[in-house]
Structure 1
């Protein structure tokens, strides 16, 4: 029994010595882990709360859009951008508000909304779409150099044909047929490589391809 007690005392002394050497680090690590867990839970709660508030604002924006209330739509989109810029609702709201502003013939505010979405939306597809709509507005205003500057940003593959098409439109309007034809060729190329679709999707794909080809052929030159 005495031997057992002695061995137990030796183990206890070893534990005390080890704790003196490493106890502070163990305690610090435990605190860091605990704080990380609390922080992660807090971050998740904060994100859910932000998303819920942004969702409520976006619903209000949709209502304003349905009522064609451009002023209210602009105010709500501005609030989304100011308070919740990191949520998907901010980009969506900017695009929706821009459409309402255009319907109300307010191209200036529409461009501001689209510019923000093109540069700051959290979603790549929303950024590409916002830039496309912005470029279309710039071409309508004959701001061709600014439109081409916007189109210098490389889009995701799904948007590449449309980007190239608008580049061709801007170049054609500037009286640059050679460069415009090259842009239309770039728009046509990925469409030729896509698998043939069925039904209505196939009809839409073919109609778009024919439209691009018509634009390209109208400039003359080799086919």
Structure 2
């Protein structure tokens, strides 16, 4: 029993010696792990809080759109891009607000909102929608070169047909019928044959001479 006690005492002494030498490192490691855990939890809480607050502002913009009240949309639309730009709600609110601005005659304001989405949205689909609408606005304002430049980017297949169709509209407006026809042909190849939209593109293609 004495031998056992002696062995246990030696182990205890070794442990105490080791702890004296390494306690600061162990404590530091524990602190680091704790900070990481707290940081992850804090970041998740922060993201959740940000999303909740952004959601409230998005709903305010959406309600203003339904009421067709541009004045009520301005404050929440401005706040959401200023304070919650990294949330999924911000670019969606900007899309809604851009349409309201454009319909209300504030074309520069609408274009600024669309450009913000292109520059800041994390979802490629939203960027593509913003590019499409921005190019449409430029076409309406006869800024043909800028419109073509806006569309000059590789997109997901879901948008290839739409981009090609709009490119055809721009080229047709510029009097470049052969190039417009080629763009419409690409659009026809990419748009779902069952889509009613495709028939509209076909009409424009046929108006330029159709397949020859």
Q: Under a length normalisation based on structure 2, what TM-score does the superposition of the two structures give?
A: 0.90
Report the CA distance shift for 1:22/1:118 in structure 2 as closer, same or farther (over 3 A). Answer: same
Residue 214 (str. 1) matches residue 208 (str. 2): no
C-alpha displacement at 1:222, in angstroms? 4.6
Deviation at 1:186, TM superposition (A): 2.1
Is the 1:98–1:113 contact (alpha carbons within 8 Å) kept by the matching residues of 2? yes
Q: Which runs of 5+ in 2 are unaligned?
A: none
Q: Secondary structure at the match of 2:68?
A: coil
Q: Is the CA contact (8 Å cut-off) linking 1:87 and 1:122 kept in structure 2? A: no
Task: Report Cα offsets for 1:39-74 as digits up to 9, x if no partner.
Answer: 111111111111111111112212222222213312
Alpha-carbon distance, 1:32 to partner: 0.8
Q: 2-side partners of 1:221 and 1:130: how far apart?
A: 30
Residue 64 (structure 2) pairs with residue 57 (structure 1):
no
- In structure 2, the residue matched to 1:39 is 39
Structure 1 vs Structure 2 CA RMSD: 2.0
Partner of 2:87: 87
Of residues 121-130 and 15-24 in structure 1, the stretch that sits farther from structure 2 once superposed is 15-24
Partners of 2:8 and 2:2 in 1: how far apart?
A: 10
Q: Does 2:62 align with 1:73? A: no
1: distance between equivalents of 2:113 and 2:138? 14
Give 5+ residue unaligned stretches, structure 1: 197-201
Partner of 1:124: 124
Q: CA deviation at 1:128?
A: 1.3
Name segments (4+ residues, structure 1) moved above 6 Å: none
TM-score (ref. length: structure 1) = 0.85
> Where do residues 117-156 of structure 1 align in structure 2 (5 Å cutoff)?
117-156=117-156
2:7 aligns with 7
Moved more, 104-113 or 159-168: 104-113
* Alpha-carbon distance in structure 2 between the residues aligned to 1:22 and 1:181: 77
| 1:187 to partner: Cα distance | 1.6
- Number of matched residues? 212
